[in-house]
Structure 1
């Protein structure tokens, strides 16, 4: 690879992750030495009362991972939402009339789903033996640039409250980051990224599939000088990206801003 960093804004950063102070934190998790799926001794526990081969009999036996219990249709108490509850919460929060008007990140009918979380109990419900189960369902409507959160009571199957906000930009979902990468790759400003990928892999980059991407919100003037159309960011949903070749090198794309609302690409600096 020759003079890659000086020829392109999307410069390859070999062997290191990039962190943007105050915006994103990357945490590396290191597994204990010897841990892995190929460790046959950990896959077959010793018989009860017998020491494992090579283990000091005076040492306690290794811990046993409890099997995940089968999910029921409805969780109990403060159990995490089950798959069935997640599905029901989203269906209740997004009735068909809303789906027909709203748009997702690709422009298709229906808002872009973001998060579905177990809601907190009310003060009078904390001590109940079987309190109601509620979920907060949030999504972004690209047709109107609104962030919407609905609280759904899974016990009564009713939407109890709806909160709609403009200019509020929660962290992007993985699907939004992938769509931002798709727009950047296809844009004229994505030529540096395409060239850097080819220099790093010897292949052409035609879509986001070969990349691992993480998105973070860009809020326009709230973060300083926002040139040109980037001043709309904050009201529009705008994303910047950490970009990495899967199982390979980092490519610096932080200067680029992808306006998912307008489906355009701009550049900082």
Structure 2
């Protein structure tokens, strides 16, 4: 078994399991194997971002036309690929698109997932019941979780809900953005050094890693003040793995995606 490398902040981990303290309570987290290291999630920021530094430029964008229905499922069948794409396009109205921001600072909310909606009262067991999908987005402009229910038959949004302080699992894009912030930050020096030791190459992009991650929520006194808003903000603890290589221990670091800051937890 490989020894843990202690020379750098990012320590190479030979074992496949790491105990993670997500808040003040110690919670055991088992790191996935290589095949599952890139799993995706199922769904005050503005003032904090301004305090953190110059605001990011917001790139222009265009809301696409709703696509044709394509292949459709029936009843409680899983959503087809065509239905997944159609639901997300229907849910992303021009108003939502123009008034929101994604994890990388572009216009439009961050897509998190599309799921078959639960049947309404009276629809259970009815094969002709409307087929609906719940589409979830995260708006980094004001740290809001947006859920829109789409009727796939009519092509209309039938319900919209917004929540603050709700943090669903991370999407692949969010984990990649967190890794990019870490690589660019001085606190990422250990990760880059370990990558260089393991591969002989420089770590310059999240694409060079396999990424797992978990949402981090603040607990009173359990982290430095810069992370006290985690939970209201969208914060990440990353578990990076060098492709075809070992895991790298970055448990002591948290990336606040809303404020675009990296901080180290106390020991």
Q: What corresponds to 2:109 in structure 1?
A: 111
SS at structure 2 position matched to 1:242: strand
Q: Any conservation in 2 of the 1:174–1:215 contact (CA below 8 Å)? A: no
Change (3 A) 1:258 1:206: same
In the alignment, the residues of structure 2 paired with residue 108 and residue 121 of structure 1 have an alpha-carbon distance, to the nearest angstrom, of 34
* CA shift for structure 1 position 205: 0.7
Q: Any conservation in 1 of the 2:132–2:151 contact (CA below 8 Å)? A: yes
Structure 2: runs of 5 or more not aligned = 21-25, 36-68
SS at structure 1 position matched to 2:136: strand
Higher Rg of the two aligned structures: 1
- Aligned partner (choices 100, 103, 115) of residue 102 of structure 1: 100
SS at structure 2 position matched to 1:5: coil
Q: What corresponds to 2:88 in structure 1?
A: 90
In the alignment, the residues of structure 2 paired with residue 175 and residue 235 of structure 1 have an alpha-carbon distance, to the nearest angstrom, of 20
In the alignment, the residues of structure 2 paired with residue 199 and residue 109 of structure 1 have an alpha-carbon distance, to the nearest angstrom, of 38
Q: What corresponds to 1:228 in structure 2?
A: 225
Q: Which structure's relative contact order is higher, taking Cα pairs within 8 Å and 6+ residues apart?
A: 2
Structure 1: runs of 5 or more not aligned = 31-70
Q: What corresponds to 2:151 in structure 1?
A: 153
Q: What corresponds to 2:14 in structure 1?
A: 14
In the alignment, the residues of structure 2 paired with residue 23 and residue 136 of structure 1 have an alpha-carbon distance, to the nearest angstrom, of 30
Mapping for residues 161-176 of structure 1, pairs under 5 Å: 161-176=159-174
- Aligned partner (choices 184, 187, 191) of residue 186 of structure 1: 184
Q: Any conservation in 2 of the 1:169–1:234 contact (CA below 8 Å)? A: yes
TM-score for the superposition, normalised by structure 2: 0.79
TM-score for the superposition, normalised by structure 1: 0.78
In the alignment, the residues of structure 1 paired with residue 28 and residue 116 of structure 2 have an alpha-carbon distance, to the nearest angstrom, of 26
Change (3 A) 1:139 1:244: same
Q: How many residues align?
A: 227
Change (3 A) 1:142 1:213: same
CA RMSD between the two structures: 2.3
C-alpha distance after superposition, 1:81-131 (max 9, x if no partner): 112211111111111121112111100011000010001112311232311
* CA shift for structure 1 position 27: 5.6
In the alignment, the residues of structure 2 paired with residue 9 and residue 149 of structure 1 have an alpha-carbon distance, to the nearest angstrom, of 38
Q: Which moved more, 1:72-81 or 1:168-177?
A: 72-81
